[in-house]
Structure 1
Amino acid sequence: MASAPGPTVTPYAGFDKDADTVALRKAMKGLGTDEKAIIDVLAARSNAQRQQLILQFKTAYGRDLISDLKSELSGHFEDAILALMSPPELYDAKCLKKAMKGLGTDESAIIEVLCTRNNKQIHMIRDRYKKEFKHDLEKDLKDETSGNFKRILIGISQGGRDEGPADASRAAADAQTLYKAGEGKLGTDESEFQRILVAKSAAHLRLVFDEYEKVSKKSIEKAIKSEMSGDLENAYLTIVGFFRNPVEFYADLLQKAMVGVGTDEDRLIRIIVSRSEWDLELIKSAYMHKYKRTLVDAVKSEVSGDFRKLLIALIK
């Protein structure tokens, strides 16, 4: 969605997989662990390069790099390193599994992952989920959620969103439909919201949002807030926010992860790792513009130790 220059992590120009694997082995061999050496290598390589390191490590030493990292690291630092080492679709699949595991469901994590991925990414996540967990993603979503919220997640998990250009005449009609399904009547016809917001293309929806304001004299966000609540509201606001302006959307999510009592470390890891090769550079600028402090300073004030050093290395 974002235009270059977007990433903070790009393929390392002087990539030498043999030298990197030697450095990683040395960092974990014997007593103690050289966390700085691990950060220096892994935070400065692209995901594709890290996948090469996993293969090279096993070839050179007959050892599993992921297992070695797990046994040497702990806490949120370990979580962030393991996130970096997973191919993106595997990491997303793991985030979804974690959100549905055990007692209770982390609906906001499910929404954040599924509502912001394109069709190709969703198909890859579904395949990886099946392969990794021997479970069907759609079935797990059905088991963990209910009502209209369940229907929206099942809809999104099909990876069937239209990807065509905007249609100006259709956009005006869709805006009218949304108005009549929500503010323009008693009660809300959620099925019409899903038919448009889950199935139509990003370009088309941006036009629908503009048309909606002409019809209603208020934003689509305000309409959703007045018509819906809970997870369903959150899901629709995520779709609207992400498609309207993905960079500002993630800047706001990062702020939300750090504001108030406690820090949502899982969300920090999810966003910083998954956007580092896409648009984190742009997210940093949007964050600075909106919150009047650098993302680095914000992260520094919330987390500590090697976890802090790793996140800052990825942001920079």
Structure 2
Amino acid sequence: MSYYPPNQPGYGYPAYPPPQQYAAGVPVGGYPPPMSAPAPGGYPPAYPPQAPPSGGAYSYPPVGLPGYPPAVQPAAPYGYSVSQTAPAPVQAPYGYPAPGAAPPVAQMQHAPTMASMQHAPTMMAPAGPSYFQPAAGMSNVPTPQQDAETIHHACKGFGTDEKRVIGVVANRTPEHLMMVSSVYRQFYGRDLVEVLDKETSGHFGRTLHYLILPPLSLDAELLYNACIGAGTNERCLIQILLGRTNADMAQLKSMFQAKYHRSLESVVKSDVSGYLEKLFVVAMQGMRDEMGHYQYNVEADVHSLYKAGEGRLGTDESHFIHVLCNRPDAHLRAVFQQYQMRYKKKFTKVIKKEFSGWIKTALCYLVNWINSPAHCIAKNLEKAMEGMGTDDQSLTRLLVRNRTQPFLNSVKAAYLTKYKRTLRDRIKGETSGDYRRTLLAVIGEPEHSA
């Protein structure tokens, strides 16, 4: 849940405030952070080209501003009509409740069903991961000061008490761990990430490193490491860049710029090319019509995608990218279903036939994510563990980034349905030692449990 899931039919991840909003490692101003609309324009240009109405650009409506929609509706893209229905309520970024709303505690206790994930209404709240503070009644959770002290004593002196470290780091929410890190620095004058990196190593050390970092900071670091140095980790780029909400993508780009003093787009473009680069660039614009402001025609998109692929010699790759990255998720699910009914072929099969290489992998991931984020993550977890050896980097990355309990419950249910075995048993068979204990704690099923 994607961490985030980790939004959902998202993703992304919970939108944390830009770095400048932190004081001593703790976010200032509370959650959720205010949403800002993406800058007008973006890549690719509107398809087909159109002139903005008098009064300003309309490539993305001013989210959250009073008085919206404007009295004069913007012109619709060619072939579509502007929705006459009242605009849907503003979506809170990645799983956070709208400003002033009470946190959805019930979602911590009752994970969404698979049916609700697959057949979500058009204006549903994000179905991907979201992080919450402990629910009411969870008074037994130690304070950040107590957890900081526990970790300090576990790492103090000769050797490390790994079990005590796991007990804290693998069993707390990201928000709680951010406060633990701040308290640790205040009390002991050391950075907690550096302490754990020094005290641990291997797959176990990497898992703790991923867990202790704030989710958005972790995503920025993973993207940077995927592009810098010898080779490119395309799978990491696919899992982090695709499926995010517009607001979350804007937060990620802001975090990356503040952390590495380079734009995310420039770093990614310098390391990939071709249609994979074009897909990532479009995704990084964060301009998907999430709110369904236009009434798209399912039949028209089914026909255009057929003509861009199976219905012609060669493939119009750009049209596939444009439709998959700009239409609302609910609309695309209807398109995939109608395409299969008309042409007797799942849409992922179409992509596998028309594309090759990493662009094929990326588009299949995006289609699977749009259809059902939980099933998408379950499938990628199996891919990380199947065959000879285990892709431990992918396994750790997928579990840590999607570890919010409601979403993770859906992932475990999807995994059991698809592969006829529990995710817990699969992980136990592929890992060992402290690394295994940490991953099992992350999914909420400690090694000693039945």
| TM-score bin (small chain) | over 0.9
In structure 2, the CA distance between the partners of 1:191 and 1:9, relative to structure 1 (3 Å rule), is closer
| 8 Å contact kept, 1:9–1:314 | no
What are the superposed Cα offsets for residues 218-238 of structure 1, whole Å, 9 maximum, x if unpaired?
A: 121111111111111111111
Match of 2:437 among 300, 309, 316: 309
Match of 1:28 among 155, 159, 163: 155
Match in the other structure for 2:240: 113
- For residues 70 and 163 of structure 1, the distance between their equivalents in structure 2, rounded to whole angstroms, comes to 39
Match of 1:75 among 202, 208, 213: 202
2:137 equivalent to 1:16: no
User: What's the offset of the Cα at 1:42?
Assistant: 1.3
| 8 Å contact kept, 2:375–2:411 | yes
User: What's the offset of the Cα at 1:169?
Assistant: 5.6
2:403 equivalent to 1:297: no
2:412 equivalent to 1:284: yes
Match in the other structure for 1:207: 334
Match in the other structure for 2:189: 62
Q: Can you give the 5+ residue segments of structure 2 that lack an aligned partner in the other structure?
A: 1-7, 10-106, 113-128, 445-450
Q: Can you give the 5+ residue segments of structure 1 that lack an aligned partner in the other structure?
A: none
Match in the other structure for 2:355: 228
- Which has the larger helix fraction? 1
Match of 1:245 among 372, 383, 392: 372
SS of the aligned residue for 2:197 comes to helix
- For residues 308 and 187 of structure 1, the distance between their equivalents in structure 2, rounded to whole angstroms, comes to 47
- For residues 151 and 305 of structure 1, the distance between their equivalents in structure 2, rounded to whole angstroms, comes to 42
| 8 Å contact kept, 1:9–1:44 | no
TM-score relative to the length of structure 1: 0.95
SS of the aligned residue for 2:387 comes to coil
- For residues 130 and 298 of structure 2, the distance between their equivalents in structure 1, rounded to whole angstroms, comes to 35
Letter in 2 for 1:108: R
| 8 Å contact kept, 2:296–2:331 | no
| 8 Å contact kept, 1:122–1:157 | yes
- Output aligned runs, 1:96-135, within 5 Å: 96-135=223-262
| 8 Å contact kept, 1:250–1:283 | yes
| 8 Å contact kept, 2:302–2:335 | yes
User: What's the offset of the Cα at 1:9?
Assistant: 8.3
What are the superposed Cα offsets for residues 234-293 of structure 1, whole Å, 9 maximum, x if unpaired?
A: 111111000101111111111110010111111111111111115111111111122122
Match in the other structure for 1:45: 172
SS of the aligned residue for 1:57 comes to helix
- For residues 231 and 217 of structure 1, the distance between their equivalents in structure 2, rounded to whole angstroms, comes to 25
User: What's the offset of the Cα at 1:56?
Assistant: 0.7
What are the superposed Cα offsets for residues 44-78 of structure 1, whole Å, 9 maximum, x if unpaired?
A: 11000000001111112222211111111111111
| 8 Å contact kept, 1:8–1:276 | no
Identity %: 37
2:289 equivalent to 1:153: no
- For residues 133 and 296 of structure 2, the distance between their equivalents in structure 1, rounded to whole angstroms, comes to 43
TM-score relative to the length of structure 2: 0.67
| 8 Å contact kept, 1:221–1:237 | yes
Aligned length: 316
Match of 2:400 among 273, 280, 293: 273
SS of the aligned residue for 1:279 comes to helix
Higher mean Cα deviation, 58-67 or 194-203?
A: 58-67
| 8 Å contact kept, 1:28–1:34 | yes
Letter in 1 for 2:287: G
User: What's the offset of the Cα at 1:116?
Assistant: 2.4
Match of 2:390 among 259, 263, 274: 263
Instruction: State the Cα RMSD in Å.
Output: 1.9
| 8 Å contact kept, 2:193–2:213 | no
- For residues 126 and 95 of structure 1, the distance between their equivalents in structure 2, rounded to whole angstroms, comes to 13
